[in-house]
Amino acid sequence: MKASFLNFWLIILCLTAACRSNDSFQKPPIAIKGILDLRTWDFARQGSLTLDGEWEFYWKKLYTPVDFLQAHTDSVHWVQVPKSWNAYQLNNKDITGEGFATYRLRMVLNKPSSGNFSIRVPLTYTASRMWVNGRLMYESGTVSEEYSTTLPQYKPEIIDFIPDQEQVELVIQVSNFHYSDGGLRQPIQVGLESDIRDRRLKAIAAEFWLEGSILIMAFYHLGLFLIRKRDLSTLWFSIFCMLVALRIFITGEYTINLFFGPNWWFLIRVEYLTFFLGTAAFTLFLYTVFEAVFSKQVVRVVCGVVALFTLMVLFSSPIFFSSMLIHFQLFTVLIAIYGFYVIIGACVFHLEGSYAFLLGYLVFIATFFNDLLYSHKIVHTGYYISLGLFVFIFSQAFLLTRRFSIAFAELEKANQKLSEANILTKEQNENLWQLNAELDSFVYRTSHDLRAPIASVMGLINIAKQENDLTQIRYYLSLKEKSLKKLDGVIRDIIDYSKNKSLDLEITPIDFETQVAEVFANHDYMENAGRIHKSIESMGQDVFYSDSRRIDIILNNLISNAIRYFNPYQEQPFIKIKVTTDAKKAQIEVSDNGLGIAKEYQNKIFDMFFRVSNHGGGSGMGLYVVKETIYKLGGEIAIESEANKGTIFRVTLPNVKPPDSIS
Alpha helices, DSSP H, located in 349-384: 354-375
More confident residue, 37 or 482: 37
DSSP three-state, residue 528 = coil
Please choose, from the candidates 285, 334, 325, 280, the residue with its C-alpha nearest in 3D space to the C-alpha of residue 307. Answer: 280
Residues 6+ apart with CB under 8 A from 214: 241, 244, 245, 248, 389, 390, 393
Give me the amino acid identity at 145.
Answer: E
Please choose, from the candidates 453, 471, 472, the residue with its C-alpha nearest in 3D space to the C-alpha of residue 463. Answer: 472
| 2-16, 488-502, 587-601: least confidently modelled range | 2-16
Please choose, from the candidates 344, 112, 156, the residue with its C-alpha nearest in 3D space to the C-alpha of residue 253. Answer: 156
More confident residue, 643 or 65: 65
- Are the CB atoms for 47 and 429 separated by under 8 Å? no
Residue 3 has pLDDT above 70, yes or no: no
CATH number for the region 198-405 comes to 1.20.1070
DSSP three-state, residue 63 = coil
Give me the amino acid identity at 41.
Answer: W
d(CA 171, CA 68): 10
Supply the pLDDT for residue 314: 95
489-548 pLDDT, tens digit per residue, is 567 666 766 666 656 778 889 888 888 888 888 888 777 888 888 889 888 878 889 888
124-151 pLDDT, tens digit per residue, is 989 999 999 999 999 999 999 998 889 9
Radius of gyration of the chain (CA): 34
pTM attached to this predicted model: 0.57
Domain spanning 504-661, CATH architecture: 2-Layer Sandwich (3.30)
Average pLDDT over residues 288-306: 92
d(CA 201, CA 611): 41
Give me the amino acid identity at 654.
Answer: P
pLDDT band with cut points at 50, 70 and 90 for residue 101? very high
pLDDT band with cut points at 50, 70 and 90 for residue 15? very low
- CATH number of this structure's domain 422-502, picked from the four choices 1.10.287.130, 3.30.70.120, 3.40.50.720, 1.20.1050.140: 1.10.287.130
- Are the CB atoms for 152 and 140 separated by under 8 Å? no
187-241 pLDDT, tens digit per residue, is 999 999 999 999 999 988 988 888 888 898 889 889 888 988 888 988 998 999 8
Residues 6+ apart with CB under 8 A from 569: none
Average pLDDT over residues 453-468: 67
Average pLDDT, the chain: 81
Supply the pLDDT for residue 20: 44
Residue 33 has pLDDT above 90, yes or no: yes
Domain ranges of the chain: 35-187, 198-405, 422-502, 504-661
420-460 pLDDT, tens digit per residue, is 766 655 665 566 666 566 555 555 555 545 555 666 666 65
Alpha-carbon distances, residue 203 vs 199, 208, 211, 252 (angstroms):
6, 9, 12, 9
pLDDT band with cut points at 50, 70 and 90 for residue 567? confident
pLDDT band with cut points at 50, 70 and 90 for residue 574? very high
Q: What is the CATH class of 35-187?
A: mainly beta
- Are the CB atoms for 341 and 362 separated by under 8 Å? no
237-262 pLDDT, tens digit per residue, is 899 989 989 998 888 888 888 888 77
- Are the CB atoms for 611 and 630 separated by under 8 Å? no
Supply the pLDDT for residue 521: 84
